[in-house]
Amino acid sequence: MTKREELIHKIVEKYEAMGENPDTYLEGLLHQQPIQYWDYIQVESLLSLQKPVTNFKDEVVFIGYHQVTELILKLMIHEIKQLVFEEVSEEVFADKLRRLSRYTDMLVTSFSVMKDGMSYEDYNTFRMSLAPASGFQSAQFRLLEIYCTPLQNLINKKGKDRLPDHPTIDDLFEHIYWRDAGYNRETGKSTQTLSVFENKYLEEFKRLAKKVEAKTLSEKFQQIEHPSEKLMKPMRNFDFDYNVKWPLTHLATASKYLDRKGKTKEATGGSDWKKYLHPKHQQRKFFPELWNEISILDWK
Ligand code: HEM
């Protein structure tokens, strides 16, 4: 049998095993169009998604860069899901963590596109047309956190002090760190940015938190008996890159546009942003058990 005959034989066998008539599929193949880059990558759809609402030239950059971030977050979640829902070797685990750090690094090193080259005046004018939208409302940013770590690790010290003894998922979400950005505990009022975000996504977040209970990336790691330093190092690196390096880069950009000549501007999402965005305040760590006391003090 030639190689080609063998291939056809295998195709026939494949469809027969499925109880299908192989001729139907072979004929389908005959009429199928070759795949082209633009169709496969959906380039036209992708490039039609940047729709500015003002005439400021940099607004399209602002939209595009947020979209790039969302795409990268999607690819990161894709990796994390495999670690959470599948059983993989320690080697694959470490490989995927290194990839997560690489993606985070792409986000950190590219953030200068937002910080440099866009005029302070332009940004502060066009952003007025975008209220109450804020990157704060990125659902993927929150989903990634829920996949990575138990909800308890997304609650800062003050939040932990407020928790009841046996908190439910509802209690944990009530005190999660990111509510500090828009919930006033004295008046019981939320900013518009927070309340519309919670109306849209909170139920989905709670469903996911239930689904990944005892299976988050942090817990999957803890199930590995005697993990080697080769695995612990990329775990720590990813935690630090995502929860310290990115927030600090993002904060430096926010400061450039919102903090000038001693005047602190109010953010689109209305948070006490200087404090809220700082990793020191958020105390967000996906894998706190991998940090000893000294390195925690270094957690900027
Ligand atoms: C000129 C550029 C930017 C400025 C001035 C800025 C400013 C801010 C501010 C002040 C907040 C706090 C919430 C609020 O009150 O609105 C925030 C939150 C956030 N922004 Fe940005 N941002 C910028 C670009 C971006 C980009 C490109 C992304 C990528 C998606 C992004 C993602 C986020 C996220 C995820 C949060 C929530 C952070 C957290 O909860 O820890 N931001 N941003």
In this predicted structure, the answer to whether residue 299 has a pLDDT above a threshold of 80 is: no
In this predicted structure, the answer to whether residue 297 has a pLDDT above a threshold of 70 is: no
The three state secondary structure string of 150-204 is CHHHHCCHHHHHHCCCCCCHHHHHHCCHHHHHCEECCCCEECHHHHHHHHHHHHH
Concatenating the DSSP letter of every residue in 70-139 gives HHHHHHHHHHHHHHHHS---HHHHHHHHHHHHHHHHHHHHHTHHHHSSS-HHHHHHHGGGGTT--GGG-H
Task: Please write the tens of the pLDDT for every residue from 195-212.
Answer: 999 999 999 999 999 999
Contact 236, 290 (CB under 8 A): yes
Task: Please write the tens of the pLDDT for every residue from 145-195.
Answer: 999 999 999 999 999 999 999 999 999 999 999 999 999 999 999 999 999
69 lines ligand 1 (CB under 6 A): yes
Average pLDDT over residues 222-244: 95
Both tokens of 90, joined, read 């320690």
Contact 50, 113 (CB under 8 A): no
Pocket mutation for ligand 1, best pick of 130, 134, 264, 273 (most atoms within 8 Å of C-beta)? 134
* R_g (Cα) of the chain, nearest Å: 24
Task: Please write the tens of the pLDDT for every residue from 87-140.
Answer: 999 999 999 999 999 999 999 999 999 999 999 999 999 999 999 999 999 999
CA of 8 to the centre of ligand 1 (A): 55
CA of 134 to the centre of ligand 1 (A): 6
110 lines ligand 1 (CB under 6 A): no
Distance CA 149, CA 276 (A): 20
Distance CA 154, CA 84 (A): 18
Task: Please write the tens of the pLDDT for every residue from 177-189.
Answer: 999 999 999 999 9
Both tokens of 85, joined, read 């829902």
CA of 209 to the centre of ligand 1 (A): 23
The confidence band for 292, taking pLDDT boundaries of 50, 70 and 90, is confident
Any idea which residue has 């008539």 for tokens?
21
Average pLDDT, the chain: 95
pTM, 2 dp: 0.94
